[in-house]
Structure 1
Amino acid sequence: MNFRKENKMVYIVTAFAVILFFGCESNFKEIQKINYSEFTPGGDADNVNLKYTDSGLIKMILLSPKMLDYSNVNFPFTEFPKGIDLTLYDAQAKTTRITAKYAVSYGLTNIIDLQGKVKIVSQQGQTLETEQLFYDQKNEWFFTEKKFKFTDLKGTSNGQGIDFSKDFKIINSQKITGELESEE
């Protein structure tokens, strides 16, 4: 008889543990839902053709097949998942054209992250190609730590790590190979 009481006790404890376990699981799922927040864009646009002007002058033209606006999050950004074609204009209406397969523009920092076959071509014929490039809109400055290929009238060079002004007048490169004519 003692054996039956112990078996009954084991069954009761096991049943109680199973009920407790399944009872907590549903509460755990509810708690997970409390911490879950949807990450959806506040705006979604197709075939974007955006012109930015300042004092009546065109400063930038942005073309993109898709734009997602996440201005509704704590660190707002705009994503271009299908790439961009961006033309920048200086005070003399000289252009710098930038293309990339993907881009993200961060509103608080004014930094644009360009990725995937990034290519910049200036009106003077200078070309830079890389896989990732950042653009500081406030200072009109480009920079990357990735490998790059730079071509101008003086020749072609390859390297890793470069930063330069929007008009290519100031160029600071790190590891560079190739032949270039120098004015010095």
Structure 2
Amino acid sequence: MNFSIRNSTSCIIMLLFCFAIMGCESNFKEVQKMGFAEFSPSGDADGINLKYTDSGRITANLVSPKMLDYATVKFPFTEFPQGIHLTLYDKNGKETYVDAKYAVSHKNTNLIDLQNNVRISNQNGEVLETEQLYYDQKNEWFFTEKKFKFTSPKGVSYGEGIDFSKDFKKVNSQKISGEVQSSE
């Protein structure tokens, strides 16, 4: 067997190159892990029953089986992955009920995004059903561009796109159809 220095040097260089590549790949994976921030909630609660008050008067009652709070992210929000039941109270004590299978409350905008089988009803027998609805907490205003069904003692109507006050006293709807009894 006859080995030359040239062949030995080539083998050593190839081995060093292979080790360098394997080492760099391992370091690269470690660097990736360092830059990866896990997206996890800063708060987690089961079986919540929150009461919101204003000047000693209860204005809302939120009930949910699960709440995840993401207060430490750039755009903080609270998620309700198993849905909510919300009761809103006006100044006269009249109640409006909101049910959804999923909800997200965005803290910076005071908007609540309600999704999946959203149903709003009140003590007057009025019911609105849709797949997605937003609630502006500051202005106490609901809105959607999705299809909806509105049932009242006067009849049933369907449409796509609606916005209204929490007590249904002010309603603006688009692309509406259905039969509604006139008060005349």
Partner of 1:57: 57
What letter matches 1:61 in structure 2?
N
Q: Deviations over 1:119-170 (max 9, x none)?
A: 0001211100011111000011111111111001111011111111111111
Residue 31 (structure 2) pairs with residue 31 (structure 1): yes
Distance in 2 (CA, whole Å) between partners of 1:178 and 1:6 is: 90
Amino acid at match of 1:42: S
Greater shift in the superposed pair: 95-104 or 65-74: 65-74
Distance of 1:17 and 1:130 partners within structure 2: 62
State, as a whole percentage, how many aligned pairs show the same letter.
63
Partner of 1:178, secondary structure, is strand
How far residue 12 of structure 1 moved from its aligned partner, in angstroms, is 5.1
Q: Which amino acid aligns with 1:167?
A: D
Partner of 1:74: 74
- How big is the shift at 1:183? 5.3
Q: CA RMSD of the aligned region, Å?
A: 1.9
* Cα distance in 2, alignment partners of residues 63 and 113 from structure 1: 16
Structure 1 unmatched ranges of 5 or more: none
Match of 1:154 in 2: 154
Q: Deviation of residue 45 (structure 1)?
A: 1.1
2: CA distance between counterparts of 1:21 and 1:123?
71
Question: Which is worse superposed, 14-23 or 94-103?
Answer: 14-23
SS at match of 1:39: coil
* Segment of structure 1 superposing worse, 119-128 or 170-179: 170-179
Alignment deviations for residues 68-118 of structure 1 (CA, whole Å, 9 cap, x no partner): 111122211111111110000011111100001111111110000111111
Shift of 1:17: 3.5
User: Which runs of no fewer than 5 residues in structure 2 stay unpaired?
Assistant: none
Structure 1 length-normalised TM:
0.90
Secondary structure at the aligned position of 2:116 is classed as strand
The reply to whether residue 47 of structure 1 matches residue 47 of structure 2 is: yes
Residue 136 (1) aligns with residue 125 (2):
no
Q: Does 1:99 align with 2:99?
A: yes
* 3-state DSSP of counterpart to 2:25: helix
Give how far 1:172 is off: 1.2
Partner residue in 2 for 1:125: 125
Give the C-alpha shift of residue 25 in structure 1: 0.6
TM-score (structure 2 length as normaliser):
0.90
- State the AA in 1 paired with 2:97: R
Distance 1:16 1:10 in 2: 10
Amino acid at match of 2:164: F
The aligned amino acid for 1:125 is G
